[in-house]
A and B are shown apart, each in its own frame.
Chain A
Amino acid sequence: QSVLTQPPSVSGAPGQRVTISCTGSSPNIGAGYGVHWYLQLPGSAPRLLIYDNNNRPSGVPERFSGSKSGTSASLAITGLQAEDEADYYCQAYDSSLSGYVFGTGTKVTVL
């Protein structure tokens, strides 16, 4: 049961900029907990892309960036590349669950 809502799909041409929204509520994003983003290729485990709203682990290209405001967060991909075609998930801690919640997932398609 996903508590964070994402658009099912977004698409863009190579080189374009796309954004993915992640809408939560008071016990999770709105409580001040960091939002994290993962990329998942078909048949593979998710891979951390952005942590604590806007930080990139080493090795993640600068064209991936994150932001957060209120009870929502966003992931932006600039200079879209064919290799970016994947599923993307947001995630945060939820104090009402004393656990973690994931977004519903967004499929990015490169046209």
Chain B
Amino acid sequence: QVQLQESGPGLVKPSQTLSLTCIVSGDSISSSSYYWSWIRQPAGKGLEWIGRIYSSGNANHNPSLKSRVTISLDTSKNQFSLKLNSVTAADTAVYYCARGPWPGPFDDWGQGTRGTVSS
């Protein structure tokens, strides 16, 4: 059974970069037929898809985040990462990593990690 676990600093200053990692067990991100995604949820609000990456390294992101998003794979550690730059208070949210086939659902989710943007 696949498990996903997010990690990263909980507090980031405005204009800096939020960096998060999702450690995967039970599946190989380098050979999986699934996509690996990041999803966020501001407190009291709904879910927003941030972006995804495939085992080939091909990635794409939600256009609403413009070009602030970078998603990458670290196959040696079986993990994938999110970098969100030029953050503002609006980026404060719980960040989830998730796995799913295309164009299917998100089958498996991490427990989520809170990212707070504050000076």
Contact = CB atoms under 8 A, between A and B. Distances in A.
A48 interface: yes
Given A36-B105, A45-B109, A99-B52, A89 B62 contact: no
B115 interface: no
A99 B106 contact: no
B49 A101 contact: yes
How many A residues touch the partner, as a band? 20 to 34
Given A34-B103, A102-B47, A45 B111 contact: yes
Interface string A79-105: 000000000010111000111111111
B36 to A, nearest CB: 13
B62 A97 contact: yes
Interface string B61-104: 11110000000000000000000000000000000100000111
Contacts of A101: 49
A103 B60 CA distance: 20
Interface in A47-89: 47-48, 51-52, 57, 89
Interface of B: 37, 46-49, 51-52, 60-64, 96, 102-107, 109-112
Contact of A46 (B37, B47, B103): B47
28 contacts: A1-B48, A2-B46, A2-B48, A33-B103, A34-B105, A36-B104, A36-B105, A38-B105, A44-B111, A45-B96, A45-B111, A45-B112, A48-B106, A52-B104, A52-B105, A91-B47, A93-B102, A97-B62, A98-B60, A99-B51, A99-B60, A99-B61, A99-B62, A100-B37, A100-B106, A102-B47, A102-B48, A105-B46
B107 A48 contact: yes
Interface of A: 1-2, 33-34, 36, 38, 44-48, 51-52, 57, 89, 91-93, 97-105
